[in-house]
Amino acid sequence: MDSVTERARRAESVAVAQAVLLGDLDAVRGAWGLSRLRHDWEAEDDPDFLFMSGVASETDGFPLGPERSHWHPSALARNDAELAEVIAWWDASVREACRRIVDRYGPTVLGPVAR
């Protein structure tokens, strides 16, 4: 992968982590996004990205994307209630991992990161 593409993937990863920290993205959706991105650049063996892959694996039964349109509304309501509990359970750990990702990689794509 060329350095421009890798830098873009790194910037996208930092943006996802920041979105979680700002509350624009919940813990589970953030973990899914970061897990997907970890293979796109050098983060494949990063412990925080590996953690995100674990969260994504543990929550992959939840319909979060377009597949929601295929679920019955009552099943979706039950699922959403359970998902809210799961998001709350993972929130602190995912946010801490996101903080480390921003601290570690943010300066390489954004310059010094304000806290």
Give the domain range for residue 45. 3-106
The model's pLDDT over 88-112, given as tens digits with 9 standing for 90+, comes to 999 999 999 999 999 999 887 766 5
Q: What angle do CA 46, 48, 51 make, to 5 degrees?
A: 110
Instruction: Confirm whether 14 is domain-assigned.
Output: yes
Considering the entire predicted model, what is its pTM? 0.85
68 in a structural domain: yes
Q: Is residue 112 one of the residues assigned to a domain?
A: no
What is the spatial distance between Cα 84 and Cα 62, in angstroms, rounded to a whole number?
A: 11
The label of the residue with tokens 């973990």 reads 31
Q: Does 115 reside within a domain?
A: no
Q: What is the pLDDT of residues 12-57, one digit of tens each?
A: 999 999 999 999 999 999 999 999 998 888 888 899 999 999 999 9
d(CA 8, CA 57): 25
Count of structural domains, the chain: 1
For residue 88, give the amino acid letter.
A
Within a domain: residue 35? yes
Strand (E) or helix (H) holding 81 = helix 73-110
